[in-house]
């Protein structure tokens, strides 16, 4: 049964309501996390850097040797269609996360017997409203970050540059951090003890007027990360891709994360130690945030901060 006012999803050539987008439980994406995905967002209902996100998606697909059976151009057209179909369901002041998800599907003929039509990979394109109201506090107060004992998967084991559905390494880090502080964010160390990234977010630090971010080999190189690097260079801010550890961070002036949904969000503290006096955003972080607003021609900062912040008392 099709429900009115329900978002629709592209699933293997069909447009279906979300509640009817069903996967076989033996799909390898379900069984093993054998899948890749990518996510972009809209600004004022306009999709941001779709081509760049799809190029990264197809790099991940090649790494996992999954052929989606669709060209980048076809995937872009499907994405644009899904967004257009779903835009009437959100307000003018809201925006979407947009994801393409491709699993290896069912490859064992014995397992396929119950789903004879499930041949080849599973391709999903869907969107979800951004969690704007729950993020307002982070832009007012900044993120409190904690470094867990769990290290990021080393690149000689599995490249973190592939955006796969298997997030267990990052989820375990989040669980460890949230046991200490449910509102904190995990920032993991790489195999060498350098700060690298969080779940779905890249990190930047400002020290002595220089903007630093970890080397690409050890992180998922985000489209937002590259956008910030380009904005910094255009503004004359020195940028270095380099290793930096907890000693370096203890002497840092500013810290922030980038991601599709966050764009840029300031970090107030790391392991309880404040950056500067703890006020956010710092001057370079703010400069880059405003440059990002100008780039996309949309005030995403106000989009987040217009929501009231309700502080939860801690026991």
* pLDDT, tens digit, 9 for 90 and up, residues 119-160: 899 999 999 999 999 999 999 999 999 999 999 999 999 999
E strand intervals along the chain: 8-11, 14-17, 35-43, 46-47, 96-103, 122-129, 143-146, 185-186, 188-189, 195-198, 201-207, 210-213, 239-241, 254-259, 263-270, 273-274
Task: Provide the token pair at 232.
Answer: 């910094």
Residue 315 has pLDDT above 50, yes or no: no
Give dist(CA 143, CA 108) in Å, integer. Answer: 45
Residue 70 has pLDDT above 70, yes or no: yes
Per-residue pLDDT, 113? 78
Task: Give me the DSSP letters along 8-43.
Answer: EEEETTEEEEGGG----TTSHHHHH--EEEEEEEEE
Give dist(CA 149, CA 102) in Å, integer. Answer: 31
Q: How confident is the model at residue 311 (pLDDT cuts 50, 70, 90)?
A: low
Q: By the 8 A CB rule, do 164 and 35 touch? A: yes
The second-level CATH assignment, the architecture, of 8-130 is 2-Layer Sandwich (3.30)
Per-residue pLDDT, 312? 55
Cis before 43? omega within 30: no
Per-residue pLDDT, 110? 84
Residue 188 has pLDDT above 90, yes or no: yes
Residue 45 has pLDDT above 50, yes or no: yes
For residue 164, the 8-state DSSP code is: B
Give dist(CA 20, CA 122) in Å, integer. Answer: 15
Q: By the 8 A CB rule, do 46 and 165 touch? A: no
Residue 98's nearest CA partner among 109, 82, 118 is 82
Residue 164 has pLDDT above 90, yes or no: yes
Q: By the 8 A CB rule, do 282 and 206 touch? A: yes
Task: Provide the token pair at 163.
Answer: 């955006």
The whole-chain average pLDDT of the chain stands at: 94
Per-residue pLDDT, 310? 65
Task: Give me the DSSP letters along 66-103.
Answer: ---SS-HHHHHHHHHHHHHHHGGGS-TT--EEEEEEEE
pLDDT in tens, 74-128: 999 999 999 999 999 999 999 999 999 999 999 988 888 788 888 899 999 999 9
Q: CATH 3.20.10.10 residue ranges in the chain? A: 134-305
Average pLDDT over residues 45-72: 98
Neighbours of 133 (CB within 10 A): 13
Q: CATH 3.30.470.10 residue ranges in the chain? A: 8-130
Give dist(CA 249, CA 242) in Å, integer. Answer: 13
Q: How confident is the model at residue 3 (pLDDT cuts 50, 70, 90)?
A: low
The contacts of residue 46 (CB under 8 Å, 6+ apart) are: 298
Pick the CATH number of 134-305 from 3.20.10.10, 2.60.120.10, 3.90.190.20, 3.40.50.720: 3.20.10.10
Q: By the 8 A CB rule, do 289 and 296 touch? A: no
Place of tokens 């999903």: 124
């Amino acid at each position: 049964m099709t429900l009115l006012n329900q978002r629709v999803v592209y699933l293997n050539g069909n447009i279906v309501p979300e509640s009817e987008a069903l996967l076989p439980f033996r799909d390898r994406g379900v069984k093993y996390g054998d899948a890749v995905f990518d996510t972009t967002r809209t600004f004022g209902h306009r999709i941001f850097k779709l081509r760049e996100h799809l190029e990264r998606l197809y790099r991940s697909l090649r790494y996992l040797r999954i052929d989606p059976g669709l060209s980048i151009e076809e995937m872009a057209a499907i994405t644009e269609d899904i967004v257009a179909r779903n835009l009437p369901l959100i307000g003018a002041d809201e925006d979407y996360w947009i994801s393409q998800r491709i699993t290896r599907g069912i490859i064992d003929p014995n397992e396929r017997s119950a789903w004879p039509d499930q041949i080849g990979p599973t391709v999903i394109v869907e969107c979800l409203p951004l969690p704007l109201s729950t993020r307002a506090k982070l832009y007012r107060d900044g993120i409190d970050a904690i470094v867990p004992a769990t290290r990021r998967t080393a690149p000689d084991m599995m490249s973190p540059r592939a955006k796969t559905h298997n997030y267990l390494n990052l989820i375990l880090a989040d669980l460890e951090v949230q046991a200490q502080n449910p509102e904190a964010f995990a920032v993991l160390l790489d195999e060498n003890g350098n700060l690298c990234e969080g779940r779905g977010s890249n990190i930047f630090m400002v020290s002595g007027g220089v903007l630093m971010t970890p080397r690409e080999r050890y992180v998922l190189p985000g489209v937002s990360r590259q956008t910030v690097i380009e904005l910094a260079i255009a503004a004359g801010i020195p940028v270095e891709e380099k290793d930096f550890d907890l000693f370096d961070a203890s002497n840092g002036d500013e810290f922030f994360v980038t991601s599709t949904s966050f764009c840029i969000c300031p970090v107030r503290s790391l392991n309880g130690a404040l950056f500067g006096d703890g006020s956010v955003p710092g001057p370079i972080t703010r400069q880059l945030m405003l440059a990002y607003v100008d780039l996309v021609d949309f005030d995403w900062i106000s989009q987040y901060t217009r929501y009231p912040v309700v502080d939860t008392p801690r026991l």
